[in-house]
Amino acid sequence: MTLSKRALPKRSLAERWLQGAYQGSHWLWPLRPLGVLYQWGMARRERSYLLGEKSAWKAPVPVIVVGNITLGGTGKSPLVAWLASWLTSQGWSPGIVTRGYGGKSSNYPLFVTADTDVAESGDEPLMLAQQTGLPVVADPKRARGAQALVAAGCDIILSDDGLQHLALARDIELVVVDGARGFGNGRCLPAGPLRESSSRLQRVDAVIINGDSSQPLPVGSVTTMQLAPQCWRRLADGARFSLNPLPFTLPVHAVAGIGNPERFFRTLSELGISGDWHPLADHQQYSAEALNFAETRPVIMTAKDAVKCYALAPPNSWVLDVEATLPPEFEHWLAARLSAIS
For residues 284 and 241, membership in a common domain is answered with yes
What is the percentage of the chain residues whose pLDDT exceeds 90? 76
Residues 6 or more apart whose Cβ sits within 8 Å of residue 111: 135, 136, 137, 148, 152
For residues 208 and 293, membership in a common domain is answered with no
Q: 27 lies in a domain?
A: no
74-107 burial string, b = 16+ CB within 10 Å, else e?
bbbbbbbbbbbbbbeeeebebbbbbbbebbebee
> Which CATH number goes with the domain that contains 164?
3.40.50.300
Model pLDDT, residue 308 = 95
pLDDT band, very low/low/confident/very high, at 5 (cuts 50, 70, 90): very low
Residue range of the domain that includes 242: 2-13+229-323
Q: 160 lies in a domain?
A: yes
8: pLDDT strictly greater than 70: no
For residues 183 and 153, membership in a common domain is answered with yes
Model pLDDT, residue 3 = 52
CA geometry: angle at 251 spanning 247 and 255, to 5°?
A: 90
249: pLDDT strictly greater than 70: yes
Q: 132 lies in a domain?
A: yes
For residues 295 and 239, membership in a common domain is answered with yes
Number of domains the chain contains: 2
Q: Which of 70-79, 123-132, 283-292 has the lowest mean pLDDT?
A: 283-292
Q: Which of 19-33, 80-94, 287-301 has the highest mean pLDDT?
A: 80-94
- Tell me the C-alpha distance between 280 and 4, whole Å: 10
pLDDT tens readout for residues 305-324: 999 999 999 999 999 999 99
134: pLDDT strictly greater than 80: yes
Q: 37 lies in a domain?
A: no
Model pLDDT, residue 221 = 77
pLDDT tens readout for residues 194-245: 999 999 999 999 999 999 876 777 676 799 999 999 999 999 999 999 999 9
Q: 36 lies in a domain?
A: no
Model pLDDT, residue 7 = 41
pLDDT tens readout for residues 256-303: 988 888 999 999 999 999 999 999 888 788 888 889 898 899 999 999
For residues 180 and 82, membership in a common domain is answered with yes
Model pLDDT, residue 306 = 96
pTM summary value: 0.92
Model pLDDT, residue 331 = 98
For residues 193 and 111, membership in a common domain is answered with yes
pLDDT average, residue stretch 145-159: 98
For residues 221 and 233, membership in a common domain is answered with no
Q: 29 lies in a domain?
A: no
For residues 105 and 162, membership in a common domain is answered with yes
pLDDT average, residue stretch 33-59: 95
For residues 173 and 315, membership in a common domain is answered with no
Model pLDDT, residue 214 = 67
For residues 165 and 243, membership in a common domain is answered with no
For residues 167 and 214, membership in a common domain is answered with yes
For residues 191 and 264, membership in a common domain is answered with no
Higher-confidence position of 72 and 234: 234
Q: 40 lies in a domain?
A: no
Q: What is the mean pLDDT of the chain?
A: 92
Q: 39 lies in a domain?
A: no
What is the percentage of the chain residues whose pLDDT exceeds 70? 94
